[in-house]
Every structure is written in structure tokens, then in C-alpha cells.
Amino acid sequence: MAVVGATGAGKTTLAKLLARFYDPTHGRVLLDGVDLRDLATADLRRAVVMVTQEVFIFSGTIAGNIALGRPGADRAEIQRVAEVIGAHEFISALPDGYDTDIQAGGHRVSAGQRQLVALARALLADPAVVILDEATPSLDIPGERLVQQAMNTVLHGRTALVIAHRLSTLHIADRVLMMAGGRIVEDGTPGDLIDEQGRFAELHTAWQDSLT
């Protein structure tokens, strides 16, 4: 599911409610019919993983940063997810490979490479639900393509909520929610919403025009 809308439409708020960064003041958020407030925090954190535009890279090794997805994972498991994601090549080219120390903030790697590390971390965690909150807007086109390929891998077989400004992300979505003023105003497949000539269709047309 892709969630789209203008800045301030409420997309990130929705994501944070689903990840239970805070609880709703009215109503409920259900996961498989269960109120998130009834789930143990540890169970929820294992089941739901959120990847944001601002990737958190900590001082330490590349391997250590990926292993945050599942503490205790061995090197073979870490390398396997990096290979699947497409991060192994750039990691191997670093001075000490997986043992290369990354400064806090990820200054030794590009924005796209930081996103690949974050996605490898998410894949290692093996969650049931993945929330991607603006995972590609700061990337150039080659970097975005690499990250989108990795996104396809992470999201395969999982429930996914993808929040995006760039509509190029929508090719992986089965369903689109169009938000405005904190509410869902349109809901359907990308094709159906384009045919309906509503807000999403206008946004999609504007995006296509921007590419020419």
C-alpha cells in the first residue's frame, strides 16, 4: 500500500501511529484485528519495522549497523542479507569491508548506501510489516533505482506501507491511499484512481509532466 499526498497531509503521522510511536486519541489501530495497545512492545517491534528518510547510522562497523536488525546475528547472516539487498559490492570495496568503522551519521557512505544498510537491517529483522517513510526523496536517479530494487526485496511477501512524494515508488503498490488534511480522501489501485480523475490523478499528471 502506498500513501501519497502533499506535505502536511498526515502521511508520516499515519506511519507513526502504525509503528506505535504514539497512540491515537480517538479510535484504534489494529494489526490483524488486534489493538496495538494490547501487544507487548517487544512483539510489536519484532513485527513492525520502519525505515525513514533519515537513516540512523551509528558509530561502529557496517556489520554492527546491519546487525541492529537482529542482535546476535552472525557474520554469514549479515553478509547474506547484504548480498540479497545489493549492498555487498559497496561494502566489500570499503577499506575493511564489513569491519569498516562508520562515523556517526554515516559520513563515509553515500545517502543511497545508507539506505541500503537500513534496508539490509530491516531484512535481517524479518518483520511481518514494513513501513517505508520517504525512503528515496534525497537520492539521485541511480541511487533511487538501487534502493527501489532493494525495497522490492525487503517488501516481498510482507505487508508494506510505503509513504512517498516521488510517484516512481508506486510501481510496487497494489493499493494507494490519497491523503489530504489528515484524512484518506481516495482509496484504490493506482490505475483505478488515475481513471477516476480525482486528486491522485492530478498528482500523477503533475509528476509525469515534471519528467518531460
110-169 pLDDT, tens digit per residue, is 878 888 888 899 889 999 998 888 665 555 555 566 667 777 777 788 888 888 766 766
Q: Measured between alpha carbons, how far is 29 from 13 in angstroms, rounded to an integer? A: 13
d(CA 29, CA 48): 13
The range of the structural domain enclosing residue 26 comes to 2-210
Confidence of residue 104 (pLDDT cuts 50, 70, 90): low
Distances 53 to 12, 116, 129 between C-alpha atoms, Å: 11, 12, 18
> What's the predicted TM-score (pTM) here?
0.79
Contact 152, 119 (CB under 8 A): no
CB atoms within 10 A of CB 145: 14
Contacts of 191 (CB under 8 A, 6+ apart): none
| Pick from 42, 24, 44: nearest CA to 34 | 44
Number of domains observed in the structure of the chain:
1
CATH number at residue 144: 3.40.50.300
